[in-house]
Structure 1
Amino acid sequence: MSSANLDPLSRNLLIGVLALAGTLASFAATTAPIQAAQRGAYEVTLPRTLDASGRGIVSGTMWCSEGARCAAPANGERAVSLCGEVASQFGEVSRFAGPQGELGSDDLARCNAAVVRR
């Protein structure tokens, strides 16, 4: 059906609906990066440089490593348990930071216990 066959009221209604749909889509696209930024990210430093491309899925999240640094978007998991999973995947962790801050030395020791058990 072409717009030439629509009466003026139907045509205006169609234009209004399309404009509203476009506006809603633009708001959704605009707020997605803001929500991601509010969730933050996890950052890990390893005491050694990884030999190969360090990519792996840990706790359902893709971690990317370059050299001795790894990062992933925050997913709300507890930092100490997630750090242990990262240590199991990539090796000993010397620094773990997330949206709530950095882990202290006691928490890092618990985190790295996962490497010893491996």
Structure 2
Amino acid sequence: MSITRYARPLAPIFAAALFAAPALAQTNAAPFYRAELAAPATAPRAIAGGVIWQCSGTTCTAAKGHSRPLVMCARLAREAGPITSFTAGGEALAAEQLARCNR
């Protein structure tokens, strides 16, 4: 018996995986979080809440993490400074939540 006898039925599965991986990566490319800082970021990247934040000027964005939006906001505020607005999945934190984020 040769290995090719067993490998041939698996070829379509491997081909599908090769084409699906880039598609999955593209769907995760859009930022889930967006924060506006009170002052421009001092670094182009920050790690807060277990995700990598990309910052330019006063705007920071990141992919979805595993914590609640308020927790993600507070962790970014500790790393990057006061936050003037924070959205998660297109929904902005309320004023009282934003105040808690900046404590």
TM-score bin, normalised by smaller chain: 0.7 to 0.9
Corresponding position of 1:68: 58
Aligned partners of 2:69 and 2:88 also within 8 Å: yes
Trace 1:13-92 onto structure 2 (pairs within 5 A). 14-34=7-27, 36=28, 41-50=32-41, 52-92=42-82
| Residue 14 of structure 1: how far off its partner (Å) | 5.0
| Residue 30 of structure 1: how far off its partner (Å) | 2.3
Q: Which has the higher contact order (CA 8 A, sep 6+)?
A: 2
- Which deviations, in whole Å up to 9, do the C-alpha atoms of 1:29-87 show, x marking residues without a partner? 323433x268x51000012223x323221121111111000011011311111111111
Aligned partners of 1:54 and 1:90 also within 8 Å: no
How many Å separate the matches in 1 of 2:11 and 2:59? 46
Q: Report the TM-score, using the length of structure 1 for normalisation.
A: 0.71
**TM-align CA RMSD:** 2.5
How many Å separate the matches in 2 of 1:31 and 1:49? 32
Q: Report the TM-score, using the length of structure 2 for normalisation.
A: 0.79
How many Å separate the matches in 1 of 2:69 and 2:19? 34
Number of residue pairs matched by the alignment: 102
Unaligned 5+ runs, structure 2: none
Unaligned 5+ runs, structure 1: 1-5, 114-118
Q: Give every structure 1 segment of 4 or more consecutive aligned residues whose post-TM-superposition deviation is greater than 3 Å.
A: 10-17
How many Å separate the matches in 1 of 2:71 and 2:6? 54
